[in-house]
Amino acid sequence: MNVQSKSRQMLILIPTYNERENIAALIGELAGAVPEAEILVLDDGSPDGTADVVEELEAERPRVRVLRREGVRGLGRAYLDGFRLSLADGFDVTVCMDADFSHDPEVVPQLVKCLQDGADAVVGSRYISGGRILNWPLNRLLLSRGAAVYTRLVTGLPVRDPTGGFNVYSRRALEMLPLDRIDSDGYAFQIEIKYTLWKLGCRIDEVPIVFTERREGRSKLHRGIVGEAIGLVWRLRRGVRR
Ligand SMILES: Nc1nc2c(ncn2[C@@H]2O[C@H](COP(=O)(O)OP(=O)(O)OP(=O)(O)O)[C@@H](O)[C@H]2O)c(=O)[nH]1
Ligand SMILES: [Mg+2]
């Protein structure tokens, strides 16, 4: 990726797997909401050609890039590559968000403002006052809420929405993370990053968000993601890392 000559303020990382129907519209909305941001799509060889869509956009949008990942697929692995690139390219602020419009592009400036007010990491939170989830079936609500409460009980992590994927990290926070030692994915990845930062003494603030069901495309949630998260919280509690 060549972002050498550009401003180094803010990088938005968007992991994608089969998000062809969402990605162009999301990038368009982000360009309106945060025009100064660079956008890096982290694609895992989506069979639907998501990366090709982004590549076509690159011609007209110089702040947009796609990283075509190879090898083992995974949300966590994609984010770790994104974190490394963000550090290497000197960005001060790294925003993480889903491609499916569950995370509102208009809220990015608010999350970033909170970081600039002194937090090391900011979590877009569904589970603090003012936060909400729209259009999720009861089983998804219970699973997500249950995971949040369970994580807190087992690990002590004082974050109300530990599995959330709409997060902002300062350069300092990313520099502190032992990126080579983190290898979880899905919900577990979100928990592991927040837990590690908390243990390192970082200030993690939460800002309420309204989370909506994905606009288009299919969920990649599967039972293995939940099992992995359950295993991880107990490992964190015992202080064991792989
Ligand atoms: N690079 C990469 N991205 C992924 C992978 N799995 C999921 N994603 C992306 O990660 C984000 C979150 O995945 P979702 O499928 O929306 O998971 P979710 O939000 O828990 O579930 P739903 O909202 O119900 O669909 C989306 O932008 C996905 O495209 C993967 O293996 N690799
Ligand atoms: Mg989603």
d(CA 115, CA 19) in angstroms, rounded, equals 28
d(CA 149, CA 67) in angstroms, rounded, equals 35
Kindly report the pTM of this predicted structure.
0.94
Task: Give the pLDDT band of residue 1 (cuts 50, 70, 90).
Answer: very low
**% of residues, the chain, pLDDT over 90:** 84
Do the strands 93-96 and 167-170 form a parallel or antiparallel pair, or are they unpaired?
antiparallel
Predicted pLDDT of residue 219: 84
Predicted pLDDT of residue 241: 65
> Is pLDDT above 50 for 4?
no
Predicted pLDDT of residue 240: 72
Mean pLDDT of 103-130: 97
Predicted pLDDT of residue 24: 98
Q: Locate tokens 């909170």: which residue?
A: 114
Which ligand 1 atom sits closest to the C-alpha of 73?
31
Predicted pLDDT of residue 27: 98
Residue to substitute in 83, 95, 98, 133 for testing ligand 1 pocket (most ligand atoms within 8 angstroms of CB)? 98
Whose C-alpha lies nearest to ligand 1, atom 13?
Answer: 220
> Is pLDDT above 50 for 3?
no
d(CA 75, CA 184) in angstroms, rounded, equals 9
Predicted pLDDT of residue 6: 42
Task: Give the pLDDT band of residue 94 (cuts 50, 70, 90).
Answer: very high
> Is pLDDT above 90 for 235?
yes
Q: Would you say 46 and 68 are in contact if contact means Cβ atoms under 8 Å apart? A: no
**% of residues, the chain, pLDDT over 70:** 96
Mean pLDDT of 179-196: 94
Cα–ligand 1 centroid distance for 108 (angstroms): 19
Handedness of CA 151, 152, 156, 159 (dihedral sign): positive
> Is pLDDT above 70 for 5?
no
Whether the CB of 164 sits within 6 Å of ligand 1:
no
Whether the CB of 214 sits within 6 Å of ligand 1:
yes
Whose C-alpha lies nearest to ligand 1, atom 12?
Answer: 98
- pLDDT tens by residue, 102-112: 999 999 999 99
d(CA 223, CA 221) in angstroms, rounded, equals 7
Task: Give the pLDDT band of residue 72 (cuts 50, 70, 90).
Answer: confident
Domains of the chain with bracketed CATH = 10-238 (3.90.550.10)
Handedness of CA 30, 218, 207, 161 (dihedral sign): negative
> Is pLDDT above 80 for 47?
yes
Q: What is the mean pLDDT of the chain?
A: 93
Cα–ligand 1 centroid distance for 17 (angstroms): 6
Q: Closest Cα partner for 41 from 4, 74, 13?
A: 13
Taking CA atoms, 63 is separated from 82, 89, 98, in Å, by 15, 13, 18
CA 131 to chain centre: 17
Q: What are phi and psi of 16, to 5 degrees?
A: -135, 140
